[in-house]
Structure 1
Amino acid sequence: MTSIFQRYADGEPTELRIQMPQRVLATTVSHYPIDVLVGHWEKYLVDPSSARDRFPWAARFVMGMPVPTWARGLEWDIGQKSRFISAVWLGGDLGSYLTNDWYEPVISSRALAVNSEILVDGQQRLHSLEEYLLDRLAIPDAQGQPRIWSELGNGVRKRFLSTIFTHVRVSSSDEVALRRTYDLCALGVVPRSFDQRAIR
Structure 2
Amino acid sequence: MYLDSPLRGSGGDAQGLDLTIYNSSSHGILAHTYLPDYVRIHFFLVAQLLEIAMSSLALPAPILAGNQRSYSISALWEGTPARTNVDQERQLLNLVLPPWQRPPSWGLDQQVQFIEGIFLGLGTGYYVINGRDYDDQGHDKPMSGWLIDGQQRITAIARFFHGEISIFGGIFFQDLSLGDKRRRFNNLIFPCIEMDYTNDEKVLKELYRRLNFSGTPHTEADLELLNA
- Do they superpose with TM above 0.5? yes
Cα deviation per residue 1:132-179 (whole Å; 9 max; x = unaligned)? 011101100xxxx31111111111111211211101111211100011
CA RMSD of aligned residues (A): 2.7
Question: How big is the shift at 1:27?
Answer: 2.1
Q: Secondary structure of the equivalent of 2:191?
A: strand
TM-score by length of 1: 0.70
Q: Of 74, 77, 83, which aligns to 1:51?
A: 83
Q: Secondary structure of the equivalent of 2:83?
A: helix
Partner of 1:178: 204
Matched, 1:153 2:174: no
2:192 & 2:178 partners in 1: Cα distance?
A: 25
Question: How big is the shift at 1:96?
Answer: 0.9
Unaligned runs of 5+ in 2: 1-53, 218-228
Q: Of 88, 91, 106, which aligns to 1:61?
A: 91
Q: Secondary structure of the equivalent of 2:145?
A: coil
2:58 & 2:216 partners in 1: Cα distance?
A: 23
- Pick the structure with greater CA Rg: 2
Unaligned runs of 5+ in 1: 1-14, 45-49, 193-200
Question: How big is the shift at 1:91?
Answer: 1.3
Q: Secondary structure of the equivalent of 1:32?
A: coil
Q: Secondary structure of the equivalent of 1:29?
A: strand
Q: Of 91, 99, 102, which aligns to 1:72?
A: 102
Residues 81, 128 of structure 1: 8 Å contact kept = yes
Residues 66, 118 of structure 1: 8 Å contact kept = yes
Q: Of 188, 191, 196, which aligns to 1:166?
A: 191
Moved over 3 A (4+): 15-22, 109-113
User: Percent identity, aligned pairs only?
Assistant: 23
Q: How many residues align?
A: 162
Q: Secondary structure of the equivalent of 1:146?
A: coil
1:90 & 1:18 partners in 2: Cα distance?
A: 47
2:131 & 2:69 partners in 1: Cα distance?
A: 13
Q: Which amino acid aligns with 2:203?
A: A
Partner of 2:129: 99
Question: How big is the shift at 1:30?
Answer: 1.1
Q: 1:121 to 1:191 in 2, by over 3 A?
A: farther
Partner of 1:26: 65
Residues 77, 94 of structure 2: 8 Å contact kept = no
Partner of 2:16: none
Partner of 2:160: 132
Cα deviation per residue 1:14-53 (whole Å; 9 max; x = unaligned)? x88764554224121112221222313xx55xxxxx935x
Q: Which has the higher contact order (CA 8 A, sep 6+)?
A: 1
